[in-house]
Amino acid sequence: MGAVAKKPYIMPALSQYAEVAARLKVDNVSLRYQSPKGDTFTALDRVSFEVPDQQFAVIVGPSGCGKSSLLYLTAGLNEPTEGEIYVGGRKVEGPGADRGMVFQGYTLFPWLSVRQNIEFGLKRRRLPQDEIRTIVEFYLNEVGLAKFAEHYPKQLSGGMMQRVAIARALANDPQILLMDEPFGALDSQTRLQMQQLLLQVWGNSKKTVVFVTHDIDEAILLADRIYVMGARPGRIKEILDVPIERPRNLDVVMEPEFIRMKRHILGLLHDDMEEVH
């Protein structure tokens, strides 16, 4: 992506989170809903896994497998019926700025400019004004939107809005970045650009990322490790390391290793669909 500044920036806010082996630990988590009729729907059934620090973890699965629910639970926006989630060794008991999230829909505040959107979390934390300015400038450059700082969301394209959403989440210097199909609503060209941009931003920040998608190509391109989920009930079926070297560009989709993995994951998801029918 030519739009992204290549200047050797120093991270403005240094992560001062505890050193832990597993940045995210999901421990025996179940999520069940009671339908109005009285029967129980199991969205997640005793899910356990860990994501090591600085990893790019991608969760793939068919719709209804509870992959988004898992993110909402980690963000603290919903409570598990059973089990616990630990981020940086601390149990999740509600939402907080240490777990940034990028949503599938556009969630920029339409009454705030790009700059003010990125400032939102920093202002809530009452950081000094000059520090806020430095951080915002840094992330505006990271996502290539320095020229659009004073624009309002309605003046931006879908891809640009998601770039602001990424910058806004990262500006808080969270322990972990949760991404819920963030490129799902974008056209395929923009989607490819955004994947490259995300890899670049992630390479610079080395945040732990948990990225949810149903797009297998996207999963293999981005992930260090892929968590394949099955539906009804939602559970982890298999965990796969992606042995493809970084930096990765769009050509990886032609590599034999990529195709082998894709075939394997397709097989896993296909089995799941057979079970349904």
Binding residues for another protein, rule: CB under 8 A, are 72, 75-77, 95-97, 99-101, 103, 105, 107, 109-111, 120-121, 124-125, 152-154, 165, 168-169, 172, 178
Choice between 89 and 95, CB closer to another protein:
95
The CA distances from residue 173 to 80, 94, 101, 126, 181, in Å, are: 25, 18, 12, 14, 21
How many residues are present in the chain? 277
| Crossing angle between the packed helical segments 188-205 and 129-142, to the nearest 10 degrees | 130
Choice between 142 and 272, CB closer to another protein:
142
Least distance (Å) between residue 71 CB and another protein: 10
User: Which of helix, strand or coil describes residue 268?
Assistant: helix
Choice between 28 and 155, CB closer to another protein:
155
CA distance 157 to 239: 35
- Closest-CA residue to 49 (of 20, 68, 70): 70
Choice between 61 and 153, CB closer to another protein:
153
Least distance (Å) between residue 268 CB and another protein: 30
Least distance (Å) between residue 76 CB and another protein: 8
Least distance (Å) between residue 9 CB and another protein: 22
Contact between 195 and 218 (Cβ < 8 Å): yes
CA quadruple 106, 109, 113, 117: dihedral sign: negative
Choice between 165 and 220, CB closer to another protein:
165
Least distance (Å) between residue 77 CB and another protein: 5
Choice between 72 and 258, CB closer to another protein:
72
- Closest-CA residue to 201 (of 180, 226, 179): 179
DSSP state of 45: E
Least distance (Å) between residue 109 CB and another protein: 7
